[in-house]
Amino acid sequence: MLLRISANLPDMTDKGNAIFTRNRLGAATSPYLLQHKDNPVHWQPWEAAVFDGARRRNVPVLLSIGYAACHWCHVMAHESFEDDEVAALMNAHFVCIKLDREERPDLDEIYMSALAMMGEQGGWPLTICLDAEGAPFWGGTYFPKNPQYGRPGFMQILTEIHRIWTETPDKIAANTKALTQSLKAKAAADARGDMPAGLPARAAQTLAGHIDMDKGGLAGAPKFPQAFLYQFLWQQAQLSGDATMREAVLVSARKICQGGIYDHVGGGFARYSVDADWLVPHFEKMLYDNALLIDWLCALYRDTQEPLFAARIAETVSWLMRDMVTPEGAFAASLDADTEGEEGKFYVWDKAEIEAVLGAEAETKAEAFCAAYDISEGGNFEGKNIPNLLAHGDAPLAHFEAARAALLKARATRTAPGRDDKILADWNAMMIGALVEAARIFNRADWLALAETAYAAARTALTDKQGRLCHAARNGQRLDVSLAGDYGFMGQAAAALYAATGLASYLDQARADADYLHAHFHDDARGGYFANLADETTLLVNNKPVQDNAQPAANAAALALFATLATLTGDTIWRARAAQGFTDLAGHLAQGYPAMTALLTMRGTLDHALSIIIIAETDAESDKTALERAALAHPIFCRQVIVLPPDSTLEPAHPAHGKVMVDAKPTAYICPGQSCRPPLTDAAALSAELDALLRARQTKPLD
């Protein structure tokens, strides 16, 4: 902290000249904000008038940022925001704003960066104090009402900030100036240059060296299932033939799939594990995590054919269909960690409960299930049990399917966790893209139909009257904010649907998203893409997201869209934009590559662009399917597989434009970059040709 907080609690006498004298969150659409609508705190939404009110009262703004599924957000709410004594202190000396980080990730990134500049560890709830211009001067995360856990009490912090604000405002001004200058310098950094030769390969070696080869994941705790990190390592392991790197990824995947971070009863992955063994999850389930994990596991399955990965993909899609589809047909954002005020209550078990559910006549089955899933009388988590298969390596234990179904039915009678049912553009897009990939690999028409329905529903819900894609929507109301990541990810979803269906309308939409992204978010002075519209003037800074956090960075999403369009269309403008993006961001990559693996993965996708075009009559199903299955099942990365009837036309710039069937048979064309190899009509020959291409890649390390 830049401001020293004393333990003194002087009397609160000056009530100030209150302007906002009531809690105004009742009109919010965010489920997180609605959780706080009955707090005695006079919470306000983020809007200019609120900052005007702080300026007229000459009081600081207390900004509290969280999200609906956040356990520690609930704890702080119960201890402080629902407490009349704390609320009186907040209302008297601050204008208080509540913000949903999922609705405004751009603002969250600004103030989380400020917190890091203060030397504080990030997390949610984010508690930060601002002046009336939105400039930060102090911050932290969770605080108890009174001092405990080695942390100062929230009341003493608020009182001391009020004292410093009124008695020594020069300290506040110095802090806001220093932090604002640092934030603006970071946002305006010119990173143009050339990416150092061999950086991806060196980055992969360094990162792989931090993987716990026994427990999987980055060494230590907590552990996050950073699928984009492992996707990068998997790509680099394939390019280099590095068996140790490959095994590091597989060990991590198996532990994630067998640990308690995975819901073995109902499917789906929790946000992270609080321990080093992947046993104890932070029980909230987020849409984006599950999207990224499905996509990663698809890549692993294509290479290994491990039943464990297939099982987790199918079970997670089943969870998605059961628990996460909104009435519109899109996908909800998250499920809460807490139920009835207790973290994980919905998910944990007593051994006696399991025995009762599985039935006395099935005692041996209950005993076998408990033995397999680490269920004991004493429990493995605070006296309860988190089902897990950490002792079973890569075995999915499919013979317990009926037992898990019975437990799922029994669990459904419990009070369910709260669901944040807002529709987020980027998170929906990530899940749609993952579903398309899984549908194609496992030949699941129902999964592809789910993806198409969700895409149409999300587009309708999120598109305003001017045709602009908004970041969030709920109950027919849209948030009037558009972000670069929304266009990057949604464009990728449209491109994936085009490759799967051959429908030109999807390609048109992907291209429109990419055009809008470049036209309205590009930094014409220094390159790269802003988080907000380039002409945005109301924020303290307009960041240029290059670091991956919970999800791949917006600039990585933008360049991935351009690289995908370059492969699908052959149009060199898209490759040029993607290549220029890497040049514009090279300085960031050279300095911060451990947090930019999604960008490095996209560099590999650009440098090894590959399209596989299959031309076949619609009634030539068996031969067409054999070619398609061979192309989709091959482990080679960054391939785009497109199946078209003979009367369809690829984009004129595509190297396979004008290609035809050979001898009236379904025919495949393998097209690395801007050239195509000779036609193939045999699935085995197609696989062999891809094998040869993969071997050739390994002799040319990625620069």
pLDDT in tens, 146-203: 998 777 899 999 999 999 999 999 999 999 999 999 999 999 989 999 888 889 999 9
In three-state secondary structure terms, 306 is coil
Distances (CA, A) of 169 to 41, 159, 436, 492, 581: 25, 15, 56, 49, 43
Tell me how far apart the terminal alpha carbons of the chain are, to the nearest angstrom.
41
- Pairwise CA distance, residues 380 & 455, whole Å: 41
Select 25-187's CATH number: 3.40.30.10, 3.40.50.620, 3.20.10.10, 2.60.40.10. Answer: 3.40.30.10
Contact 238, 253 (CB under 8 A): no
Ranges in the chain annotated CATH 3.40.30.10: 25-187, 608-703
Residues facing residue 151 across a β-bridge: 148
Q: Identify the helix (H) or strand (E) that includes residue 431.
A: helix 425-441
Contact 265, 221 (CB under 8 A): no
* Burial status of residue 620 (CB atoms within 10 A of its CB: 0-12, 13-18, 19 or more): middle
> Residue 125: CA atoms inside 13 Å, Cβ hemisphere, count?
28
Contact 480, 470 (CB under 8 A): yes
- Pairwise CA distance, residues 363 & 403, whole Å: 12
Contact 514, 498 (CB under 8 A): no
Instruction: Centre a 10 Å sphere on the Cβ of residue 220 and count the other Cβ atoms it contains.
Output: 11
- Pairwise CA distance, residues 8 & 159, whole Å: 8
pLDDT at 363: 57
Write the Ramachandran bin of 107: left for phi over 0, alpha for psi from -120 to 50, otherwise beta.
Answer: alpha
Contact 100, 66 (CB under 8 A): yes
Contact 623, 631 (CB under 8 A): no
- Pairwise CA distance, residues 629 & 134, whole Å: 54
Cite the beta strand spans of 183-335 per DSSP E: 272-273, 281-282, 285-286, 334-335
Phi, psi of 699 (to 5 degrees): -90, -5
- Pairwise CA distance, residues 314 & 319, whole Å: 9
pLDDT at 413: 97
Q: 41-44 — which CB contacts under 8 Å span 24+ positions?
A: 41/81, 41/86, 41/87, 41/90, 41/91, 41/96, 42/18, 42/87, 42/90, 42/91, 42/96, 43/96, 43/97, 43/98, 44/20, 44/95, 44/96, 44/97, 44/98
Instruction: Name, in order, each residue with C-beta under 8 angstroms of 523's C-beta and a sequence gap of 6 or more.
Output: 529, 530, 534, 544, 584
Token output for 283: 């029980």
Contact 674, 655 (CB under 8 A): yes
Chunk the chain into consecutive blocks of 10 residues (it has 703) and report each block's average pLDDT, rounded to whole numbers.
36 43 92 97 96 96 96 94 97 97 96 93 93 95 89 92 95 94 92 88 95 94 95 96 96 98 98 96 96 98 97 98 98 95 95 90 78 96 96 87 96 96 98 98 96 98 97 95 98 97 96 98 96 94 94 97 96 96 92 92 92 86 83 95 90 94 95 95 97 85 40
Task: Spell out a b/e string for 406-422, using b for 16 or more CB atoms within 10 Å of the CB, else e.
Answer: bbbebbeeeeebbbbbb
Select 608-703's CATH number: 3.40.190.10, 3.40.1350.10, 3.40.30.10, 3.40.50.2300. Answer: 3.40.30.10
Pairing of β 610-615 and β 639-644 = parallel
